[in-house]
Amino acid sequence: MDVKDSNGTLLNEGDAVQLIKDLKVKGTSTTLKRGTVVKNIRLTNNADEIECRSDKIKGLVLKTCFLKKV
């Protein structure tokens, strides 16, 4: 299964990605700002989603359409 970011670049386990849009996190009052770098991503069974950890939030699932590889 190929997982691609918003630019079509192939993503792998452990890559670092950057947010291209401000994202509100459901269930919290936290907003992840545009330009935030998330390191050490994990791929899921879904090609449109990745798992990661942010400084404030653990177990975060993000859509790949809001990410670009760093």
Q: Which fold has domain 16-69?
A: SH3 type barrels. (2.30.30)
Nearest to 43 by CA among 70, 8, 4: 4
DSSP character string of 2-65: --B-TTSPBP-TT--EEESS-EEPTTSS-EEPTT-EE-S-EE-SSTTEEEE--SS-SSEEEEGG
Task: Classify 66 as helix, strand or coil.
Answer: helix
Nearest to 54 by CA among 67, 68, 41: 41
pLDDT in tens, the chain (70 residues): 899 999 999 999 999 999 999 999 998 899 999 999 999 999 999 999 999 998 888 999 999 999 999 9
Residue ranges of the domains in the chain?
16-69
| pLDDT the model gives residue 34 | 97
